[in-house]
Amino acid sequence: AQSVTQPDIHITVSEGASLELRCNYSYGATPYLFWYVQSPGQGLQLLLKYFSGDTLVQGIKGFEAEFKRSQSSFNLRKPSVHWSDAAEYFCAVGAPGGGNKLTFGTGTQLKVEL
Amino acid sequence: GAVVSQHPSRVICKSGTSVKIECRSLDFQATTMFWYRQFPKQSLMLMATSNEGSKATYEQGVEKDKFLINHASLTLSTLTVTSAHPEDSSFYICSARFTGFGGGESTDTQYFGPGTRLTVL
């Protein structure tokens, strides 16, 4: 069974600073990997996804993530954070051919200081 | 594209009543939809997988007689919380599975609805 770990429960960064949110997964092969963002009281919005190919994937809102097989990681990055990026971020892993049933990490709450 | 709606966004009901939540994929067909429950400050917990034209598959520990799921069409799944009690109060989120081609590549992605806040008095 797959699992996801997001080691950081809370992260605070200053507006304009760079951001990296960590995500580690456990799966026997290369999984499908996703990052979603959730604003308070809202559903989840897809930021980016990785299925195969180029290990650096670009997403919406200036986010990118890099799949590192050797580290079983899929960290999310943004070079310059905006105040509107404050939200909860979830990493998720899905099993290819498994009906895309997702396992979510516990989430990282991002706070942006002005 | 890939928009999912949920209705209602918020519902308050009395203990013992039933509540129906609708999940619709607006611009694509979804043979599979998922229902999640989210407690405050916590992650999403998968409740069940809804497949069009067949019975839903429930996760371990989820009462299928309490949380009735119907997926009667390729764009609509419903979750009915029967005989609701205060402990059923939660944020319920659905997602619809999109498979096909997007941006020139094949994809298999869940798109989420905005959620439904259920409060049982």
pLDDT tens figures, B48-107: 999 988 899 999 999 999 999 999 899 999 999 999 999 999 999 999 998 877 666 668
Q: What is the pLDDT of residue A9?
A: 95
Nearest to B109 among A46, A99, A107 (CB): A46
Average pLDDT over residues B98-118: 83
* B43 has a chain A CB within 8 A of its CB: yes
CA distance A103 to chain B (A): 8
Q: Given CB atoms, is B100 within the 8 Å cutoff of chain A?
A: no
Residue A42, min C-alpha distance to chain B (Å): 5
Q: pLDDT digits over B21-61, tens only?
A: 999 999 999 989 999 999 888 889 999 999 988 899 999 99
Which is it for strands A108-113 and A10-14: parallel, antiparallel or unpaired? parallel
pLDDT at residue A2 in the model: 85
What pLDDT score does A15 carry?
97
Integer CA distances (angstroms), A104 to A18, B42, B72, B82, in order = 24, 11, 27, 27
- Comparing alpha-carbon positions, the chain A residue that sits nearest to B59 is A101
Segment (H or E) for B68:
strand B67-73
Q: Provide the sign of the torsion angle of the four alpha carbons A108, A85, A76, B59, taken in this order.
A: positive
The predicted structure's pLDDT at residue B103? 61
**Of the partner residues A51, A96, A102, the one whose CB lies closest to the CB of residue B110:** A102
pLDDT tens-digit readout, B6-15: 999 999 999 9
CB B98 within 8 A of CB B31: no
Largest CA distance in chain B: 49
- Whether residue B43 and residue A106 make contact (CB cut-off 8 A), yes or no, is yes
Q: What is the pLDDT along chain A (114 residues), one digit of tens a residue?
A: 789 999 999 999 999 999 999 999 998 888 899 999 999 888 899 999 999 889 999 999 999 999 999 999 999 999 999 999 999 999 999 987 767 789 999 999 999 999
- The confidence score (pLDDT) of residue B102 equals 61
Chain A residues near any Cβ of chain B (below 8 Å): 32, 34, 36, 41-46, 49, 51, 90, 94, 96, 99-102, 104-107
Q: Taking chain A, what is the end-to-end CA distance rounded to the nearest angstrom? A: 41
Q: Tell if the CB–CB gap between B32 and A45 is shorter than 8 Å.
A: no
Query: Which pLDDT score, from 0 to 100, does residue B40 have?
Result: 84
Give the tokens for residue B73. Answer: 């069409």
User: What's the pLDDT at B89?
Assistant: 96
Judge: A45–B112 Cβ closer than 8 Å, yes or no: yes
A77 CA to chain B: closest CA distance, Å? 21
